[in-house]
Structure 1
Amino acid sequence: MNGVVWLDKHINQNDTVSLPPIRISSDTARFNYKYPNGNRSALRLTRIVSEIVRLLNGTEAEKNMRWIVMGDDDTVFFTENLIRVLRKYDHEEFYYIGSSSESHIQNIKFSYGMAYGGGGFAISYPLAKALEKMQDRCIQRYPKLYGSDDRIHACMSELGVPLTREVGFHQFDLFGEVLGLLSAHPLAPIVSVHHLDIVDPVFPNMGRVNALKRLMASSKLDSASLTQQSICYDTANKWTVSVSWGYTVQIIRGVLSPRVMEVPMRTFIDWYKRADDKSLAFNTRLISKNACQRPRVYYLSNALPDSALQRTASQYVRWYDMWDPECDWNMRDPSEIEEVIVYKIPDPDRWNKDKAPRRDCCRVLPMKKNDTMVIDVGPCKDDEFIEFSVK
């Protein structure tokens, strides 16, 4: 992979070693821009695809070029997962890959068929070359559009290329905690996250950068499984357990079905600051009104390789600021658990295109310490199902 940072003017570069190559995008003064209170930088940004094609034209690097991937300056990519997703598609065909917004209102305002630029999108190189031949003319036909991504979408429509939707690209048109969404991530590799300066830090009581570094630490151990959800039951205590590997563990009193647990809790609100489910473009569920069934949440504290057993060991520690109401149920309180240890064998091939996607299974192991839960996570075995067994 090669990266270029595009700017609108020259800067003084004091550190030329660690920075990626910097390019200055060309002037767009000749193009009309009529969106009320918008920003003309959208014109400059949308033309970057064409400018990359011109930059590469006739060079040795062009011979091996397969995809052009765009992202904002506040987009974070999990690059190994990005490659896993793109590997599924024939780069010699015309592909426009990304995802829509989490906000139903945003998608109505713009389009469900548009790849949102904050979540990032990928364009196969042959399609990028076709776009370069007509993009400037296309831009002139849409002066009233708002952003760079909807201009790309307009040109893709003229080229007759639909959006290929991959749900691991995350626009994050949300406010609040993304806990609910990332703890019940869709069954697909997480590719990108956006708006990290707007949503709460992915780990509480940490700065945004340090929180992201912690998430990246587990990504380095098993990027293919990052935030992938497993659901199991502690039958002795009648608890429901949900593992979002490399991110969180949740323990809930009582038995909640996988059909419920795979739906994200609404720990966030819509981009337009609405708190109802009708404003979101995916299924959500309310945080339980029943004080006894509010989850105990354990955030990743550390993740290490266990080379001797060819597995990873990750530690999740109780977050005490999260929902700790009184409960009069006659059953053990998960609050007695201070930490959760999760063992897992890395599975880099889980998203190969010849494999059908399936959630991992998790198994609660016998407790050796009353305040520590130990869980094994891995591919489901033959005749292993996510069901609560009554003893």
Structure 2
Amino acid sequence: MKGHQKVSSEKPIWDRSSSGVSMTRPARRLMIWLILFISVTYIIYTLKIISTSHPCEQDPTILQQRPQKKAISVAVEAVAAEQEPTDLKNVVFGIAASSKLWKHRKEYIKIWYKPKKMRGYVWLDKEVKIESDAAGEQNLPPVKISGDTASFPYTNKKGHRSAIRISRIVSETLMSLDSDSRKNVRWFVMGDDDTVFVTENLIRVLRKYDHEQMYYIGSLSESHLQNIFFSYGMAYGGGGFAISYPLAVALSKIQDRCIKRYPALYGSDDRMQACMAELGVPLTKEQGFHQYDVHGNLFGLLAAHPVTPFVSMHHLDVVEPIFPNMTRVRAIKKLTTPMKLDSAALLQQSICYDKSKSWTISVSWGYAVQVFRGSFSPREMEMPSRTFLNWYKKADYTAYAFNTRPVSRNACQKPFVFYMSNAKFDQELNTTVSEYTRHQVRHPACGWEMANPEEINTIVVYKKPDPHLWDRSPRRNCCTVLQTMRNNTLWINVGVCKAGEVTEVK
């Protein structure tokens, strides 16, 4: 019965009082652990959901964000590419050529053009036979035929209307490129088929200028009269000239109208300059582009090259081979040996003295060394000697647009010339070693009581490569005579002038 039930002596589970209900200690601990477990489990589960969740593919705002990120990435890459220094990939060459002369002049192009590194076209007046299997033919640029210019007026009686065709090569080269090919073009460089470029030095020159601005870069003729007849503000096309991409675009829009306004002009380069004048863009002169409007022997010009990168040489069919007893093509190929070792220094002149023997020595690195009896000042030595005739085949020194000097004042001062015979890089010495062999020609008798340079057969020049030569202010390298007369050999060191070093006669 309920009234007779035994009351347990154990503590009740619930202890009721006026203050409310309280839990015993074991029950409290169990509940706390249970709550903590549930909380931790919930947190872990929530974090897992967040970390593995993906945005809804149907969310239009998210779909719009994805291509924007890709576009930003492409834009960053484009900006990075634009900030890179100019290289050969940013240059397109346009080479003016004639079908009549193509067979032998293409050999000049093979020397300098490298299709895997360069872009360009040869522009001919009509189709020629392409011998793809012949030696070196794969090293030529693609051949294109110039557009018809019969509708353009030409009234110059001394010239040839092919000048109109050639003057349009810049615009035609631009138009031949599709939109993708144009993206990284910064410069168009024009030249003739008898022009050879030192492309590394060309790039060194172009890097000085902002390709996003309008630039017309080239040089004058060596002939004072040529410059008077045509213009002192004109880039002579055979020596090559460069036009920035924005200027090429502007030119292409007006060139045909411009050409029709000048039917009486003689050539292509003066037509080009006339259009530049209409655009208001002057010539930016760079002395390293060489028209070589001279006849005869280029030795005097090459042995005293101005302090600037040697970029190009033209009229190779007009002048004599630059090395004696060679064909013109073989002579130019020989110059490529030092060109590969240190293109920046090619043909750069250094002047020094062997005071114990009273000799003046001029080094045109990679080409020739001259040894003179007596003392010549640097001011005299940096003037080209007149080994050539002017463009009108006259020995008239007033016809040049620069200072020259006589070949020799006295029979005893006729220079002993040593032409480059070999050049290599010595890895142990970390320097180039170029050898120059004396040109065997008769010298007039000399009664001066001093050492005779004729006893020297070979000159060895040591020079460390200096690819950053033109990143500094222009200055001739200095040279020092190391040893003389041992084994009939003269040793010379050429390099950057030391602090305080001066080329002094005495």
Q: Same fold (TM over 0.5)?
A: yes
The partner residue of 1:2 within 113, 119, 139 is 119
Which amino acid is the alignment partner of residue 295 of structure 1?
P
The partner residue of 1:84 within 178, 199, 204 is 204
Cα distance between partner residues in 1 of 2:414 and 2:124: 47
Question: What per-residue deviation string (whole Å, max 9, x for no partner) do you get for residues 5-25 of structure 1?
Answer: 111222332307443211111
Which amino acid is the alignment partner of residue 444 of structure 2?
P
Whether the aligned pair in 2 keeps the contact of 1:336 and 1:370 (CA below 8 Å) is no
The partner residue of 2:150 within 19, 23, 29 is 29
Alignment length, in residue pairs?
A: 385
Asked whether 1:133 is paired with 2:253, we answer yes
Q: CA RMSD in A?
A: 1.1
After superposition, where does 1:1-391 map in structure 2 within 5 Å? 1-15=118-132, 17-56=138-177, 58-321=178-441, 324-352=443-471, 355-367=472-484, 369-389=486-506
Helix, strand or coil: the match of 1:309?
coil
Cα distance between partner residues in 1 of 2:443 and 2:201: 36
Whether the aligned pair in 2 keeps the contact of 1:176 and 1:200 (CA below 8 Å) is yes
Cα distance between partner residues in 1 of 2:170 and 2:160: 19
Cα distance between partner residues in 2 of 1:115 and 1:19: 25
Cα distance between partner residues in 1 of 2:384 and 2:295: 15
Whether the aligned pair in 1 keeps the contact of 2:478 and 2:494 (CA below 8 Å) is yes
Whether the aligned pair in 1 keeps the contact of 2:376 and 2:505 (CA below 8 Å) is no
Helix, strand or coil: the match of 1:3?
strand
TM-score (norm 1): 0.96
Cα distance between partner residues in 2 of 1:249 and 1:28: 49
Cα distance between partner residues in 1 of 2:313 and 2:503: 29
Helix, strand or coil: the match of 1:171?
coil
Whether the aligned pair in 2 keeps the contact of 1:291 and 1:327 (CA below 8 Å) is yes
15-24 vs 355-364, greater mean Cα deviation? 15-24
Helix, strand or coil: the match of 2:173?
helix
Question: What per-residue deviation string (whole Å, max 9, x for no partner) do you get for residues 114-154 of structure 1?
Answer: 00011010000100000000000000000001111110000
Cα distance between partner residues in 2 of 1:94 and 1:328: 60
Cα distance between partner residues in 1 of 2:153 and 2:431: 56
Relative contact order, CA 8 A, sep 6+: which one is greater? 1
Structure with bigger helix share is 2
Whether the aligned pair in 2 keeps the contact of 1:33 and 1:143 (CA below 8 Å) is yes
Question: What per-residue deviation string (whole Å, max 9, x for no partner) do you get for residues 60-110 of structure 1?
Answer: 110100000000110110100111011100011110000000000111110
Cα distance between partner residues in 2 of 1:33 and 1:368: 63
Offset at residue 112 of structure 1 (A): 0.8
Cα distance between partner residues in 2 of 1:370 and 1:257: 29
Helix, strand or coil: the match of 1:224?
helix
Offset at residue 370 of structure 1 (A): 4.8
Cα distance between partner residues in 2 of 1:338 and 1:367: 11
List, as ranges, runs of 4+ consecutive aligned residues in structure 1 with deviation greater than 6 Å. none
Which amino acid is the alignment partner of residue 71 of structure 1?
G
Whether the aligned pair in 1 keeps the contact of 2:456 and 2:485 (CA below 8 Å) is no
Larger C-alpha radius of gyration, 1 or 2? 2
Offset at residue 310 of structure 1 (A): 1.4
Cα distance between partner residues in 2 of 1:340 and 1:292: 20
Identity of aligned residues (%): 61
Cα distance between partner residues in 2 of 1:18 and 1:90: 30
Helix, strand or coil: the match of 2:484?
coil
Offset at residue 367 of structure 1 (A): 2.9
3-12 vs 342-351, greater mean Cα deviation? 3-12
Which amino acid is the alignment partner of residue 10 of structure 1?
E
Helix, strand or coil: the match of 1:44?
helix
Unaligned runs of 5+ in 2: 1-117
Offset at residue 368 of structure 1 (A): 6.3
Whether the aligned pair in 1 keeps the contact of 2:158 and 2:266 (CA below 8 Å) is no
Which amino acid is the alignment partner of residue 320 of structure 1?
Q
